Amino acid sequence: MTTPQPRQEGRWTRRKNARPAELLAAALDLFVDRGFAATRLDDVARRAGVSKGTLYLYFESKEELFKAVIRGGLVPAIERGERMVEGHTGSLAELLEKIILGWWQEVGNSQLGGIPKLMFAEAKNFPELARFYYQEVISRGYRLLGRVLDEGQRRGEFALVETDHATRIVLAPLVFLLLWRHSFDVCDSRRIDPETYLRLHMSLILDGLRVRTMVPAAAHVG
C-alpha cells in the first residue's frame, strides 16, 4: 500500500476495465447451460474469478445481469446479415442459402445459439426483456428475410406468398434446430445431423417457393 506497485497496478487497471465483459461471458456460459433460474450467482462469480459481492457492483440484480447478457449477444450477428443482403448480387435462392448457412455457422453452432432458447423460455417472465429482444433481434431478422422474399417475388423468382408468414416458416426449422440441440438432443437416439437437416429444409422450402412452369403430378390447391 505504501510501496509503488507498477506491474500490479497495470494489471489491476486492465482487469478493472475488463471486468464487465468477463462477468457477462461467465454469465452467458451458465445461463445458456442451465437457464435463468437454475444459474446461481455464486457460480457466475466463481467462473469469472471474482467474489459474489463483486457482481453487485456491476449489475443491480440477477435480472439486470440477464438483460445485459442478452443485449450484448445477437445484435452484431443480425447486422452482418443485413450487410449481406444489401451487398448481394445473384439469385435470391442463393442469397437465402447463404443467410441460412451463415446463420448456422455464426449463431447456431456457437455459444450464442443458446440465447434464443433462453429467450423463449423466459420471455413470459421478463416481458420488458422480451420486448427488447423482439425489437432488436427478432423483428430485424424477419425484416431482413422478408426483404429477400419480397425481392424474389418481385423478380418472379419466387411464387407469391404472404411474406410475414413465410418468413416465419422459413425460420422455424432453424429455431427449432437450436432449441432441439439445447434441450432434447441428448435424449434422442436418432440425432439430427445439422448439415443434412438444413440442406433438406432449404431444398423443401425452395421447392415450395420456386415458381414452376408446369403443374406438379398431383394438384394440391385446386
Partner DNA sequence: GATGAATGAGCGTTCATTCAT
Partner DNA sequence: GATGAATGAACGCTCATTCAT
- Backbone φ, ψ for residue 112 (5° rounding): -60, -25
Binding of residue 129 to DNA (CB under 7 A): no
Query: Is residue 15 near DNA by the rule CB under 7 A?
Result: yes
Q: Which residues pair with 210 in a beta bridge?
A: 158
Rounded to a whole number of angstroms, the minimum distance from the CB of residue 110 to DNA is 24
Instruction: State the minimum distance, in angstroms, from the CB of residue 204 to DNA.
Output: 42
The interface partner of residue 11, options being DNA, a copy of itself, none and the CB cut-off 5 to 8 Å by kind, is DNA
Question: Which of 73, 57, 85 is closest to 24 using CA atoms?
Answer: 73
1 scored as a contact of a copy of itself (CB under 8 A):
no
Among 2, 3, 8, 213, binds DNA (CB under 7 A): 8
Query: Which of 36-44, 136-144, 171-179, 181-189 is the region at the interface with DNA (rule: CB under 7 A)?
Result: 36-44
Quote the least distance from Cβ 44 to DNA, whole Å.
Answer: 8
Instruction: Report yes or no: 153 and 161 within 8 Å, Cβ to Cβ.
Output: yes
**Which of DNA, a copy of itself, none does 98 bind, CB closer than 5 to 8 A by kind?**
none
Packing angle of the helix pair 62-71, 114-122 (nearest 10 deg): 130
Q: Which of residues 50-109 bind DNA (CB under 7 A)?
A: 50-54, 56-57, 60-63
Cell numbers linked to 107: 449463431
* From 8-16, 118-126, 156-164, 194-202, span contacting DNA (CB under 7 A): 8-16
DSSP 134-170: IIIIIHHHHHHHHHHHHHHHHHTSB----HHHHHHHH
128 binds DNA (CB under 7 A): no
Number of Cβ within 10 Å of residue 158's Cβ equals 23
